[in-house]
A and B are shown apart, each in its own frame.
Chain A
Amino acid sequence: MAEGSRDQGGVGTTDPEEDSPNMIVYRKIEDIVTRIQDEKAGGVAIRTVKSFLSKIPSVVSGADIVQWLMKNLFIEDPAEAIHLGSLIAAHGYIFPISDHVLTLKDDGTLYRFQSPYFWPSNCWEPENTDYAIYLCKRTMQNKARLELADYEAENLARLQRAFARKWEFIFMQAEAQVKIDRKKDKAERKILDSQERAFWDVHRPVPGCVNTTEMDIRKCRRERNPHRVKKSVYGVPDDGQSQPSPVHISSQPTRKATKEDVQKEITFLNIQLDRHCMKVSKVADSLMSYTDQFVEYDPFVSATEPSNPWISDDTSFWDLEGSRDPSQQRVKKWGFSLEEALKDPAGRDQFLKFLESEFSSENLRFWLAVQDLKRRPLQEVSSRAQEIWQEFLAEGAPSSINLDSHSYERTSQNLKDPARYSYEDAQEHIFKLMKSDSYARFLRSNIYQDLLLARKKVSLFPFYILLHPFWRRIVLFTPQH
């Protein structure tokens, strides 16, 4: 049954070796480079290229790699394929044979594949002693292609100073490596040298290049090698003086699942089974109609009026949205739902104004008071809750609201120990009431309709004065806001 896979010791049972985030990506890249190299299965042709007096073994052109990526990963835009290919290079899986900078070019530039020995999935974290050995042995070889780049020469100088006392040891190790290398076949050496260089290009990148070995500190503790036991590239025994990796957060010991844990799970699952859920077709329709309603307000889909400040450097759009004098488009939103109306301070004001005209504003004022209560610091909660009771619910309250007896009972019970959420039931009840009753009337009211249809009333003047011909002329020539 499912017991086997779930049960490996407790709460949080992922196998740390396979599931770490870096490993997931490495496996995918490794799958890709394996496929690219498989000529029989549609991979690219890896050939030996003749160059002046010598041969360049085992290479592929950048353009070939880009073509392969586009075809096999269904990429339409070459820029995307180049970007992905460059990342694969930056992580050390492919490399240009004549450059330390690990990017992919969509041309005849020649690339080689990294040896699985050097793959990042082997959790390399090479020490500076290894790097010193590497740079040192490079200086021992007389080939032009192995000359140190400026930044490498600088690195070598720094390391010589840092390891002054054990330089003799490093020098000897480098000599030993050179001896081993000389025994190999010429073509093989070309390939191995380049792969080794590419390895160091990942772990000691060219200044200015991204160091792809950098880790997200939140994920470190689950790495395959959490204690960062360092293995040497050149088989140098660890002398115990290496720095422990600074990136180590103490990890939680995974608890074994207790009876209580599983009983909680069972209770939770039973609650979920009892939940009434909607069909996907229905929620899909709901999501589509919500988005459809708001698409005209979405600056990433529809042009804004006035223009988006970020585009035009003109903040009129923001000034307008911030004003208490709302645009028609903004007023239209209030009609989408009571929530939308209350979200907008201007909408809240107008709804309150309407209710006041009906002498029924206590519901909304109660709702607003409870919202305010929830935003108060802990210290003020108790007294504020009492104040709300006095104002809205106590006997003879000045702004008495109508609650059903059930909510009333619950609320008065809650008030024995007044807290932030004491009025939740009551608030929910009142909200439903407003939604089904006064909100609908608000939308039909003159107050709302006038704003929606931009019927301007010049409320500063006594209305009758406008009837005078003198004022009519002025009003006609006044620009509309």
Chain B
Amino acid sequence: THQMACQGLQGGETVASLKRESESLRKKLEEERKKLSDIELNQVAEKIEVLGPLSIKTRRVLKGHGNKVLCMDWCKDKRRLVSSSQDGKVIVWDAFTLNKEHGVALPCTWVMACAYAPSGCAVACGGLDNKCSVFPLSLDKNENLSAKKKSVAMHTNYVSGCTFTSSDMQILTSSGDGTCALWDVESGQLLQSFHGHTADVLSLDLAPSETGNTFVSGGCDKKANIWDMRSGQNIQSFESHESDINCVKYYPSGDAFASASDDATCRFYDLRADREVAVYQKDSVIFGASTVDFSLSGRLLFAGYNDYTINVWDVLKGTRASILFGHENRVSRVRVSPDGTALCSASWDNTLRVSWAAYL
């Protein structure tokens, strides 16, 4: 049948017959993958120790946005962060001292994406303006940041996510136009575009490898795709969610990633097994999950939900380790700081909160 499938590519087949072929290949792939599913991750993880009781404190609340906070990103210095809001404002904070260090007002509302440059000297942001712009951060607090704005990415629909690559020189964006794109910051040139999603792309994350050139994206077509940055090719694809994927994030080793979806579950996919290896869900969790991030070792998965809570999942055992209350509206973004010492959560309640583990 494999041979028959290849023969089918020649000649004047109808779309319908090609679709039948595609379906049978899909079924075959499903069977092949199932054979490798010899045991569940949480069963293997039974032999490791249960985590001690997790006590997480929230002792810093960043107030200053006038409307929903949609996105945030940590600086590599582990204490500064950038956040963006529905009211068009982008703020750079020293979260350690609660000081606001920079502020920019964008001409558009719903700034859904923001990112801190690796050097710490610039930030990128974008949203309903369909663009992603880069602002160098000046040491002069009085300087008008808007003046130095550099328009880099141009999509044909909203920009849902952006990240710098390993330098300040390239940014990667995801968009409601169904594509992702890699851009040269200096020239604004499109270096590579990534086509394959069949609906809005809502999130992306770069593989944490020093040597790798891949990233993962997730979107409203319920798919999570792995891309090769060099060729633009879609390397792997995962489809097991029942609704939009709002966020994707790599496990720290780069061999796996997690996703958050409107189907109220978070899932864990391993790239080497090419399948989903865990589902994080509970009967009492019925609202969509909007954002996820791992703790430094990958043992914990922090997930923010539309029910205003953050559930902390034991990645390997599949159980919930803790639940954080505090936000008064949807949680739009959670991010663990670069050295794993803190968790920042951004919310529709106009605030950002910084939390960490207290040792008992």
Contact = CB atoms under 8 A, between A and B. Distances in A.
A262 interface: yes
Q: Which secondary structure dominates where chain A touches chain B?
A: helix
A26 B118 CA distance: 41
18 contacts: A3-B23, A21-B244, A24-B264, A28-B264, A218-B202, A259-B13, A277-B274, A282-B273, A284-B277, A298-B300, A300-B295, A300-B340, A318-B79, A371-B210, A374-B165, A374-B167, A421-B213, A421-B230
Contact of B22 (A77, A210, A265): A265
Interface string A416-444: 00001100100110010000000000000
A219 interface: yes
Interface residues of B, number: 123
A266 B286 contact: no
Given A210-B328, A280-B38, A7 B296 contact: no
Contacts of A378: 184, 186-187, 189, 191
Contacts of B288: 21, 24-25
B98 interface: no
Contacts of B38: 279-281
B135 interface: no
Give the dominant DSSP class at B's interface: loop
B243 A310 contact: no
A14 B242 CA distance: 11
Interface string A242-266: 0000000100100001110011011
A339 B243 contact: no
A123 B275 CA distance: 37
Interface in B288-344: 288, 295-300, 306-309, 315-316, 323, 325, 328-329, 336, 339-343
B158 A249 contact: yes
Given A1-B20, A270-B5, A342-B210, A280 B41 contact: yes
Contacts of A1: 20, 23
B274 A375 contact: no
Contacts of B239: none
Contacts of A259: 13, 15, 18
B88 interface: no
Interface of A: 1-3, 6-7, 11-12, 14, 19, 21, 24-25, 28-29, 32, 69, 73-75, 77, 79-81, 83-84, 87, 210, 214, 217-219, 222, 249, 252, 257-259, 262-263, 265-266, 268-270, 272-273, 275, 277-288, 290-295, 297-301, 303-304, 308-311, 315, 317-318, 321, 339, 342-343, 371, 374-379, 420-421, 424, 427-428, 431
User: Which of A29, A374, A379, A421 has the most B CB atoms < 10 Å from its CB?
Assistant: A374
Nearest to B35: A279
A376 B282 CA distance: 46
A272 B36 CA distance: 14
Given A298-B299, A377-B169, A25 B44 contact: no
Nearest to B86: A217
A478 B28 CA distance: 70
A6 B19 CA distance: 10
A115 B72 CA distance: 40
Q: Identify which of A249, A272, A286, A310 gathers the most chain B CB atoms within 10 Å of its CB.
A: A310
Interface in B106-131: 110, 112, 128
B140 interface: no
Contact of A7 (B19, B110, B253, B336): B19
Q: Which of A252, A301, A343, A371 has the most CB of B within 10 A?
A: A301
